[in-house]
């Protein structure tokens, strides 16, 4: 956008996908307002692009989104996620939320919880609002007490853990392509398309003789809230 004054990510991804040496492409930190139908179409058509979207939403209450200076509103976010799932039915969705932003009422927080339950994101990062001197939010009235922020964070994360476990369980018995990152004599650790580096879970592989950097088909045999466990197979992977 800064170079061309128009959205060009879709065309860039198309060109990157044509590079022979590139095996995987993962798009991180997408503002919801800049996710276009063209971008989703390219992600669906190019096999090298992971069906993974990291979209920082921050909240679901229009009142709080407006106070945060965010351009999105709940109805628009719901429409966007519906569109994503229509074009990319297997997409892994990650987002982030802030709880306890100045002025967040119990009703605002309850609206956020309903949104999380309805959308069932694969992965969620959540943080309590932290007052930073000199920022516009620091001057807002109705600052939320630390105890309230912590209670809300605990509740949100508890609910999300059950959702993440449910989303992981949907892959039991399926075969996924996994990029090996660490390997030992009897075990290895890697990531499938649903797992971004450092922020998501990993896939533990019951196999020796693997080399970091290779892609292997793994049949998922066990899952937890964050990680998955599987073995190498020779059937086509997704």
| pLDDT tens-digit map of 18-54 | 999 999 999 999 999 999 999 999 999 999 999 999 9
Same domain, 157 and 224: no
Flag whether 29 is in a domain.
yes
The neighbouring-strand residues paired with 125 are 96
Residues 128 and 181 in one domain: no
4 lies in some domain: no
Q: How many domains does the chain have?
A: 2
Q: Could you tell me if 181 and 109 lie in one domain? A: no
Pairing mode of beta strands 92-99, 49-54: parallel
pLDDT of residue 131: 81
Calpha distance 57→113 (Å, rounded)? 13
179 plus 162 within the same structural domain = no
pLDDT of residue 133: 78
**Domain finish residue from 131, 146, 169:** 169
Which residue range is the domain that position 64 belongs to? Answer: 9-169
- Answer with the one of 120, 148, 169 that is the final residue of a domain: 169
Residues of the chain with pLDDT under 70: 235-238
**For residue 222, is it within any domain?**
yes
Whole-number pLDDT of residue 134: 74
206 and 165 in one domain? no
pTM: 0.91
Is 1 a member of any domain?
no
pLDDT of residue 236: 56
pLDDT for the residue numbered 132: 80
State whether 43 and 72 are in the same domain: yes
26, 119: one domain: yes
CATH number at residue 112: 3.80.30.20
């Amino acid at each position: 956008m800064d170079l061309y004054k128009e959205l060009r990510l879709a065309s860039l991804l198309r060109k990157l996908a044509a590079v022979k040496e590139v095996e995987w492409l993962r798009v991180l930190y997408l503002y919801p307002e800049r996710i276009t139908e063209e971008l989703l179409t390219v992600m669906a058509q190019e096999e090298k692009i992971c069906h993974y979207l990291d979209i920082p939403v921050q909240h679901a209450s229009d009142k709080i989104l407006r106070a945060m200076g965010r351009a999105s509103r709940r109805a628009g976010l719901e429409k966007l996620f519906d569109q994503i799932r229509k074009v990319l039915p297997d997409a892994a969705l990650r987002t982030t939320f802030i709880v306890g932003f100045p002025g967040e009422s119990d009703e605002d927080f309850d609206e956020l919880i309903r949104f999380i339950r309805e959308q069932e994101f694969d992965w969620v990062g959540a943080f309590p609002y932290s007052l930073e001197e000199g920022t516009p939010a620091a001057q807002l009235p109705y600052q939320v007490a630390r105890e309230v922020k912590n209670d809300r964070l605990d509740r949100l994360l508890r609910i999300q853990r059950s959702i993440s476990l449910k989303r992981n369980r949907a892959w039991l018995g399926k075969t996924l392509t996994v990029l090996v990152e660490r390997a030992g004599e009897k075990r290895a650790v890697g990531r499938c398309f649903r797992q971004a580096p450092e922020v998501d879970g990993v896939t533990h592989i019951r196999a020796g003789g693997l080399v970091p950097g290779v892609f292997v088909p793994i049949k998922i045999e066990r899952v937890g809230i964050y990680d998955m466990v599987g073995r190498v197979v020779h059937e086509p992977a997704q």
